[in-house]
Chains A and B, each alone.
Chain A
Amino acid sequence: MDENIIEVRGLKTYYYTATKVIPAADDVTFSMKKGEVLGIVGESGCGKTTVARSLVRLINKNTARIEAGEILFDNMDLSKATPRELSHIRGNRISMIFQDPFVSLSPVYTVGNQIAEVMRAHSKEKIDRHEERRIIIDLMKKVGIPSPEMRIKDYPYQLSGGMQQRIMIAIALACRPDILIADEPTTALDVTVQAQVLELIRDLKDEFQMSVILISHNLGIVANMCDRILVMYGGAVVEEGSCYDIFKNPKHPYTRGLLKAIPSLSEDRDELFSIPGTVPTFTVPVTTCRFADRCPHATEQCRCAEPELRDVGPGHKARCVFADREWD
């Protein structure tokens, strides 16, 4: 339980546009233990998806590049792995489910076929047809698809969004991966289905003994599911800590802003709180605190240099010069 299953050190993934270089993931460092659920939260465009995709190098070669950093997994640095090594990892040791199930399954193959594909890609010997069918039906049952014997021949468009996402989960779990990356797995789904899918991921995580990286902009989901949380802003990790640290003792003004923005039933507010301003786009090199422009406590010091991500408690880090201060 104590060994790190994956370690990311100083990961920098930059996007290149015609005129500028955008640090979508800037010096991201974290590690994850076996069986842990790690949440990555932040607003749209904060770099959480980039971090997740960088882990398996699923980034567009034409526009993005991993500039620096190490991704240590199973004595291998995935940031330098060959395509062949990556093929062996993807879908087999590390799997991913995507945000929108409607566009994540190929429209021209049956769902059974698409589950079989990942199994065939990673099994050493050829699996017998009947045996394969049995495994697939079993898997579909596990992810909660009713009458899988019939559904196995369905095409994605014949299934609802929730069912399609379950198929995505079945594909991701078919080879019993060590790590499951769930990139906003419920954002595109109805609220009632969201809860079912999250429940499913949590149950299967225990059954398959996986570690899960859960990416979300929804703090409620993260609070329910995660052991540890990374809060990202503008491509950088601004706070890292246990679920308790983040929710009960947040140190970064951005994290506090996010928590304050959650509507509460017990409090009587006329207006919902929101962090003033919008997420700016940064270009390298970044020379101020990224949050300075929207931060209520920003001083000259914040605009001189970017603060370090430093320890503010056991296993709790924040990227703020005033992190030690007690706020209201």
Chain B
Amino acid sequence: MLSFIVKRVLKGLLCVWFIWTLIFFLVRLTGDPTGWMLPDGATSAAVKELREAMHLDEPLTKQYVDSLGDLLKGDAGRSYYYKQDVRKLYSERLQNTVRLAIPAFIVAIIIGVSFGIIAALKHNTIFDRVLMMITIIGHTMPSFCFGIILIIIFSVQLGWLPTFGTGRGADAWKHLVMPMLTLAWGPMSSIARLTRGSLLDVMTKEYIDGARMKGLSERTVLIKHALRNSLIPVVTSVGTQIGNIISGAVVVETVFAWPGMGQMLVNSAKQRDFPTVQYGILLVAFSVTFVNILVDVSYGFLNPKIRESFK
């Protein structure tokens, strides 16, 4: 078990390093940041001087080795645009995104799984149909569209909820509700549909009748045998949903002017703010990898065949 986790963590780090390397070279393909940093009509001598100051004149390999070395020492560089340490720059932003993403993730799982279970148990009834209709909308409608509809209903028409920002103190939850729901909506729908399908499938399996034939109550059969087996594919998909939530956060943060990481990533990419982009991507890669390790480990708890590979 322990060696499995160690192996998994090492692989994860390797993956994160690979992504960071990729992004390091990719951002440098987008152009020269000095273009916007100097006023129009700057002399080529001034440009050259700035490039030297930013070490952009050095060969790519040297830049890469230096950056990686700094990163390992805990120095992620300074933002070209904000002129400050990118780690400081992200610390508050990261908190904001976490404050948005974690509730969205939890809501997506809880509501998604319960909707899926209800729909499966009430298969072919009006409940099932309505729930599946809702999730089809969630599946197909882009999140920015859903967010704007929420804004029209709850902010413009009813005036209950604010349209942008994180808010402070007691009001903070009001600011959180709409972005969080918008972010949770898509993953929730996927999870609900998958749970329903998986549970319906498991309920037709012979071992469910086998469990009934032991004289267990329908409730025990459902919870102990049907649910546990049907959640195996759901847990797998939850791992991929975390990626969807983080990429979705970029869009949702823009719609609701939520000062999170996503927004900052998009802006700094536009400004060719290399260190900021690199560090942002690094954080995203880290969190996705970490959650996926958690998912893999919990998958093993559910599925004995996977546990075998832990040894």
Contacts and interface: CB of A to CB of B under 8 A. Distances in A.
B228 interface: yes
A117 interface: yes
A108 B215 contact: no
Interface string B206-244: 110111111111100000010011001000000000000
A90 B123 CA distance: 26
Contacts of B107: none
A279 B129 CA distance: 37
B213 A91 contact: yes
Contacts of A87: 215-217
Interface in A53-81: 56, 58, 62
Query: How many interface residues does chain B have, given as a range?
Result: 20 to 34
A155 B213 contact: no
Given A103-B206, A105-B210, A157 B216 contact: no
A88 B123 CA distance: 28
B215 A89 contact: yes
A24 interface: no
Contact of B209 (A58, A89, A95, A155): A58
Contacts of A105: 207, 210
A90 B214 contact: yes
Interface of A is mostly: mixed
B121 to A, nearest CB: 12
Interface in A99-128: 99-100, 103-108, 110, 117-118, 121-122
Contacts of A58: 209, 212-213
B302 interface: yes
Contacts of A108: 228-229, 232, 302-304
B305 A106 contact: no
Given A90-B212, A155-B304, A157-B305, A106 B217 contact: no
Contacts of A96: 213
Interface string B191-207: 00000000000000111
9 contacts: A56-B213, A87-B216, A90-B213, A90-B214, A91-B215, A98-B209, A106-B207, A106-B225, A108-B232
Interface of A: 56, 58, 62, 83, 86-92, 95-96, 98-100, 103-108, 110, 117-118, 121-122, 155, 157, 168, 171
